[in-house]
Amino acid sequence: MSCAAHQLGAAGEQAAADFLQQRGYVVLHRGYRYRRAEVDLIVQYEADLLVFVEVKARSGTQYGYPETFVTARKQQLFRLAAEQLQEELGWTGDIRFDILALTQTGQGFQIEHFEDAFA
C-alpha cells in the first residue's frame, strides 16, 4: 500500500470512529485481528449490540463506490473474527456487520453508513 493510501485509510478510520461516536457508539477495538481477519472498528451500541465495522475510504468514485470493495471473502473473515471476539468477551447480545463508505471531499469525507450490510 502506498504512503498516500495508508494515510487516506488512517484518516478514514479516524473519521469513521468520530462519526460513530457522535451517534452514541462506543469504540471497543480498532484494527482487531484474528488469524487472517482484520476488523477496522468494533463498536458497542447501547448495552446489547456489538457492531463489526469495515471502513472503506477512497479518494474518489472513478473506480467504483467504496462499499463495493467488500468481497465475499472479507465478509467470511469478518464473521470468523466476530465469532472469536464473542467468545473472548463472553458476548451474549446481538451483533451486526456494518460498512462505513468514505469518499474524500475538499472538506474531509462524505460518509455513508450501511447498517447490517452482510445480511
Burial class for 41, CB neighbours closer than 10 Å (0-12, 13-18, 19+): buried
Alpha helices in 31-112 (DSSP H): 72-89
Domains in the chain (CATH in brackets) are 3-114 (3.40.1350.10)
pTM, whole model, 2 decimals? 0.90
Distance (Å, whole) CA 34 – CA 85: 9
Q: What is the pLDDT along the chain (119 residues), one digit of tens a residue?
A: 567 777 888 889 999 999 999 999 999 999 999 999 999 999 999 999 999 999 988 887 777 777 777 888 989 999 999 999 999 999 999 999 999 999 988 888 999 999 999 86
Distance between alpha carbon 101 and the CA centroid of its chain, in Å? 9
Beta bridge pairs of residue 41: 30, 53
Count of residues in the chain: 119
